[in-house]
Amino acid sequence: MKFGVVTFPGSNCDQDMIDALRNDLNQEVIHLWHKDKDLSMFTTDDCILLPGGFSYGDYLRCGAIAKFSPMMQSVIEFANKGGKVIGVCNGFQILCEAGLLPGVLLQNQNQQFVCKNVFIKSENPTASISKDVTGRPLMIPVAHGEGRYYADKATIDELFANNQVIFRYCDEFGNIIEDANPNGALENIAGICNKERNVFGMMPHPERATSFMLGNTDGQLIFQSLINNN
């Protein structure tokens, strides 16, 4: 399984993602530039990652301009063919803007940037990215000002009915409670997938929790679940 990591103008977590995958998880990683289009080196067994940051300065809306980049047009085609795509933080915002995932990420409820460790839990045993960590609280950092997941009631109901919610904010014991929600996201939603379960978006940063030197390797478990269930 190969990973491609896209860099947009304003990306600031691309090198973190590359380092985590290459050095902590021993995976093959290819760096992709936003102006390029070629994804011919990848098969549908591989994965493209959209990292965190402030693509195109977050002008208009977070991710609104990035969706028009040449590389994103190729990423959309790749996803529509069944290739795996993960968007983390700003990458999640881009996936929603591009229509690959439903809903939108709004300004945090407290209107402040939040940067801290939080706990998330998956109740989704069907998605490859969460299959091996279902029911287990994971400590993963967040760093965002616009991470409040929102969609209309019909969409939220559909996400739960189709088992498309992959991660929810919880406390350290796995209880999904309001006090554990760092941004006011509806239903404590921290990550979702599409109906086909090959496109994943999440606000927390698993790439920042893969090193023993940082005292936290819970992020490795998320990537390893994806690799194990490819």
- pLDDT range class, residue 59, cuts 50, 70, 90: confident
- pLDDT range class, residue 94, cuts 50, 70, 90: very high
Pick the catalytic residue: 13, 97, 146, 207? 207
The answer to whether 95 and 85 are in contact (CB under 8 A) is yes
- pLDDT range class, residue 60, cuts 50, 70, 90: confident
Pick the catalytic residue: 47, 96, 97, 205? 205
As a whole number, mean pLDDT of residues 98-127 equals: 97
The two counts, helices (H) then strands (E), for the chain are: 5, 11
As a whole number, mean pLDDT of residues 126-132 equals: 97
Spatial separation of the C-alpha atoms in residues 189 and 41, rounded to whole Å: 33
Ordered by where they begin, the domains of the chain are 2-228 (3.40.50.880)
As a whole number, mean pLDDT of residues 169-174 equals: 98
Which residues touch 194 (CB under 8 Å, ≥6 apart)?
79, 100, 101, 164
205 included as an active-site residue: yes
Pick the catalytic residue: 13, 89, 96, 193? 89
As a whole number, mean pLDDT of residues 45-74 equals: 94
- pLDDT range class, residue 203, cuts 50, 70, 90: very high
The answer to whether 140 and 133 are in contact (CB under 8 A) is no
- pLDDT range class, residue 230, cuts 50, 70, 90: confident
Q: What is the pTM of this model?
A: 0.96
**How confident is the model over 30-47, as pLDDT tens digits?**
999 999 999 999 999 999
As a whole number, mean pLDDT of residues 223-229 equals: 97
